[in-house]
Structure 1
Amino acid sequence: MRILFLSYWGLNDGLTTSTVFPHLRLLQERTDVTAILLVTIERGADAQAELLFEPGFEVSKITFEPLRSRPSRNVLVNKIEDFTRFPRTLIRQVEEFKPDFLLARGAPAGALAYLVWQKTKLPFYVESFEPHADYMLESGVWRSYDPRYLFQRHWETKQKQLALGLMPVAENYRQQLIAEGVPAQRIATVPCSVDAGQFAYNGAARQRVRESLGWAGTDVVGVYVGKFGSIYYDEEAFQVFRTAADFFGADFRLVILTPDPLDEVQAKLAAAGVSAGQTFVTKAAHQEVPDYLSAADFAFATIKPAPCRLFCSAIKIGEYWASGLPVLLPEGIGDDSDIIKREGGGAIFNLDRPSTVSEALANVAQQMAQPGYRQQVRHLAERHRSIELSRQAYTHFFGVPALQ
């Protein structure tokens, strides 16, 4: 098989490192895959930069040809230009590379795959398929009259009708797709998987990080990884941090790993009443994250609830679990809120009922008091976020590769 793999994120994006590269490794392992053309979409500073794979990443079957977005001050104009120019470039790539099918990562990439299908009838599959248009609408990023929303929603309908296979990240969405009339055999649930070995708890890293920050081994450390705003709580997240600081008292410490401007995050912490002496805020490379997780005792995943959030799978939750961290999570987030209710590995809160934040913190504190709690939590990542689920989906759609 020759596969054109289309990622909607850039080569150096953290989501590419954490979600695309593991799948490329799986595809390269298959004896029936002879060549992969990786196509990424590069924006901002990387749009014209030289792009290199991370050291040690095996590319024996992979060639790389990025789509480079042109700079524009207007986001809407920029996106419209992308969705008119990129399909033409992809069609040229299809003509030259001659793939058997296109494998798109994410519903926006799936939209491009559909536009290519219109002209070439090249079969396509969509990984990480989610209702992206409704996500953006419910998050307040797009409006119902926004052309981006209208086009993306239309293109998602076409993906449901025409893709040979859809791989939603939540079982909740698989059931919804079946209810909408998509045949069950064309759907396989593939949550955002994590490398459990990469994120395994490391006692030496825990001690090293805490010592570097001047924090005691007995301090209670919470960690948050990611952005603020859009599909995540913003000011509300900092109030949750403040509640945790009040709950655990003087021993509480907080690590925030974020791509957001650090001075803005620190200002929000100060406005919420979380003291600078309790916090450490930095931008960390993906390979640095496991050490900070090892230094923590529990984690925050302050994803903003909305109807479509039932269909998501946040990679950070899998990474937290793989490190053995109980997760403080809002109600109604993907399959994970229900997993936590059934199996532990954190606690659920609802900001419409403010008292539930303290109740969830008390629940997390009880879990942390249990001997071997990190290993118990880690089993959730092994059960629900294993890369093996992706391998099974590829077998379902592409068949069992012949032995060499």
Structure 2
Amino acid sequence: MSSNKIIAVTVWSANDPLIKVYTLPYLRLILSMFPSVSYYLQTFDKGSPVQAPKHDNGISYIHASFSSSFIGKVIQYVRTIIKLVLLARNKDVAAVHAFCTPGAMIGYIVSALSGKPLLIDSLEPHAECMVESGTWSRESLYFKMLFFFEKLSVKNAKAIICVTPTMPSYVKEKYDYEIKDLYFKPACVDLRSFEVAANNTGNLKRELGISNEIICAYVGKFGDLYLEDEVFEFFAECYAYWGGRFKVLLLTNQSDEYLNKKSVESNFPFGNIIKKFVSPVEVPLYLSTASFAISPLKPIPTRRYCTPIKTGEYWAAGLPVVITRDISIDSDIIEQKNIGYVLKEFTINEYKNACLTIESLLQDRQLHSKVKDVAKEYRSFELAERAYAGAFKQLNISR
């Protein structure tokens, strides 16, 4: 059996959750599907040397240092590109597998200089998303460079996997290019890991001081692509509706100082927040204690073409979700399947409507299994398996 070495390009740290819960599960799936394949995984690591292994069952890590400055990034990217091009030529690499468009920028250059075919995985807008969120200016070098390479990489990729079925319309409008052969793979979730034993949930509830409260879960941070004040205003309205029965479970490393400040500003009791910063493997257990969850992404235009990992995790845990409008296809699914509430605007009346809807949904004894069925349909790794089978066929890599 011939060996197919592939370079996986990311711009994330080896310890970043996007490597642990998003990249590595897919690479391991591919390794199980294609026994002849092995991977070199490129990461950019902050601070001191990471504890990630150099080798991990068919995956060899290539670590580079992270730089926060523009010039520093350019220098490090150039060094990395040279290293990867030499690797591609000297190790008879079969393909370059780039994750998201920042990774695709590096992947495209490596592909062009080495002559190896490029697979873009998890294609979604990034440059425009950063502008819409207020992180970058449209006149900034960051935006101009990434947007330029987004177009180039998409037009020259051998195979493309989008995170939403709506992404081709964005590519046509923004890049003036029609993708002929593409595959669809959302942010998939290991559904088995969310099958939590009832006694484990009960033990954790006792540890957290939870009994019959209404618990709203949120995994992640505030700010950047996520709402801030609006979320705490929603929490305050939930408290007004359910009273002391309502509590918030925050799985975050956000500071207590920040959370206390936002609580005071919104008149939501800080004491009703349960904050924990847990590892990805612990998330299913903690979510099993919740009643519902919130996915508060800013409803900027490009979010239509992205896929939030957390929504899939909430569904896998069987939780109804309160989500903002026009987020991927998730907002539409939640509304059509009646498994949560879509916030059309950020008003007290709309927050009250969300509370009323969640209260009604929680009376349904079949809700938990109904939501899990949605997770199986829209977040199963079977979707990823089908996408990789098609994409690797285009790369002429067989099982």
TM-score w.r.t. length of structure 2: 0.93
User: 1:344-391: CA deviations, max 9, x gaps?
Assistant: 221100335542222122112211110121111011110001111111
User: 1 CA distance for matches of 2:292 and 2:217?
Assistant: 7
State the Cα distance separating 1:243 from its structure 2 match: 1.7
Instruction: Say if 1:266 and 1:341 are closer, same or farther in 2 by CA, change over 3 A.
Output: same
Equivalences for 1:227-266 in 2 at 5 Å? 227-266=221-260
Instruction: Say if 1:188 and 1:34 are closer, same or farther in 2 by CA, change over 3 A.
Output: closer
Q: Tell me which of 276, 282, 285 is aligned to 2:276.
A: 282
Stretch moving more, 179-188 or 241-250: 179-188
Q: Which amino acid aligns with 2:104?
A: G
Partner of 2:192: 197
Q: Which amino acid aligns with 1:52?
A: P
Partner of 2:96: 102
Q: Which amino acid aligns with 1:123?
A: P
Stretch moving more, 325-334 or 351-360: 351-360
User: 2 CA distance for matches of 1:184 and 1:146?
Assistant: 28
User: 1 CA distance for matches of 2:312 and 2:197?
Assistant: 17
User: 1:132-161: CA deviations, max 9, x gaps?
Assistant: 001100000000111000000000001121
Partner of 1:51: 52
User: 2 CA distance for matches of 1:209 and 1:244?
Assistant: 23
Q: Which amino acid aligns with 1:155?
A: F
Instruction: Say if 1:311 and 1:376 are closer, same or farther in 2 by CA, change over 3 A.
Output: same
Matched, 1:7 2:10: yes
Instruction: Say if 1:68 and 1:96 are closer, same or farther in 2 by CA, change over 3 A.
Output: farther
State the Cα distance separating 1:401 from its structure 2 match: 7.6
- Tell me, yes or no, if the aligned pair for 1:302 and 1:329 is still in contact at 8 Å: yes
Matched, 1:207 2:202: yes
User: 1 CA distance for matches of 2:231 and 2:71?
Assistant: 32
Instruction: Say if 1:50 and 1:197 are closer, same or farther in 2 by CA, change over 3 A.
Output: closer
Matched, 1:303 2:297: yes
Stretch moving more, 179-188 or 284-293: 179-188
Q: Which amino acid aligns with 1:157?
A: K
Equivalences for 1:3-402 in 2 at 5 Å? 3-43=6-46, 45-46=47-48, 48-52=49-53, 59-70=56-67, 75-177=69-171, 182-216=177-211, 218-399=212-393
User: 1:21-72: CA deviations, max 9, x gaps?
Assistant: 11111111124533211122212x35x334238xxxx9332222222225xx
User: 1:280-311: CA deviations, max 9, x gaps?
Assistant: 11211111111110000100111011010101
Instruction: Say if 1:201 and 1:90 are closer, same or farther in 2 by CA, change over 3 A.
Output: same
User: 1 CA distance for matches of 2:327 and 2:287?
Assistant: 21
Q: Secondary structure at the match of 2:293?
A: strand
Q: Which amino acid aligns with 1:187?
A: L
Q: Which amino acid aligns with 1:11?
A: A
State the Cα distance separating 1:213 from its structure 2 match: 1.7
- Tell me, yes or no, if the aligned pair for 1:4 and 1:102 is still in contact at 8 Å: yes
User: 1 CA distance for matches of 2:61 and 2:350?
Assistant: 48
User: 2 CA distance for matches of 1:287 and 1:36?
Assistant: 24
Q: Secondary structure at the match of 1:170?
A: coil
Q: Which amino acid aligns with 1:34?
A: V
Q: Secondary structure at the match of 1:171?
A: coil
- Tell me, yes or no, if the aligned pair for 2:259 and 2:270 is still in contact at 8 Å: no
- Tell me, yes or no, if the aligned pair for 1:164 and 1:186 is still in contact at 8 Å: no
State the Cα distance separating 1:176 from its structure 2 match: 3.2
Q: Secondary structure at the match of 2:7?
A: strand
**Structure 1 unaligned regions, length at least 5:** none
Q: Which amino acid aligns with 1:120?
A: S
TM-score w.r.t. length of structure 1: 0.91
Q: Which amino acid aligns with 1:303?
A: L
- Tell me, yes or no, if the aligned pair for 2:392 and 2:398 is still in contact at 8 Å: no
- Tell me, yes or no, if the aligned pair for 1:31 and 1:402 is still in contact at 8 Å: yes
Instruction: Say if 1:331 and 1:227 are closer, same or farther in 2 by CA, change over 3 A.
Output: same
User: 1 CA distance for matches of 2:214 and 2:273?
Assistant: 12
Count of matched residue positions in the alignment of Structure 1 and Structure 2: 393
Instruction: Say if 1:234 and 1:188 are closer, same or farther in 2 by CA, change over 3 A.
Output: same
User: 2 CA distance for matches of 1:234 and 1:148?
Assistant: 25
User: 2 CA distance for matches of 1:379 and 1:64?
Assistant: 36
Instruction: Say if 1:290 and 1:266 are closer, same or farther in 2 by CA, change over 3 A.
Output: farther
Q: Which amino acid aligns with 2:66?
A: S
- Tell me, yes or no, if the aligned pair for 1:37 and 1:97 is still in contact at 8 Å: no
**Structure 2 unaligned regions, length at least 5:** none
Instruction: Say if 1:401 and 1:200 are closer, same or farther in 2 by CA, change over 3 A.
Output: farther
State the Cα distance separating 1:208 from its structure 2 match: 1.6
Q: Secondary structure at the match of 2:281?
A: helix
Superposition RMSD in Å? 2.1
State the Cα distance separating 1:91 from its structure 2 match: 1.6
User: 2 CA distance for matches of 1:36 and 1:202?
Assistant: 35
User: 2 CA distance for matches of 1:369 and 1:209?
Assistant: 23
User: 2 CA distance for matches of 1:259 and 1:155?
Assistant: 33
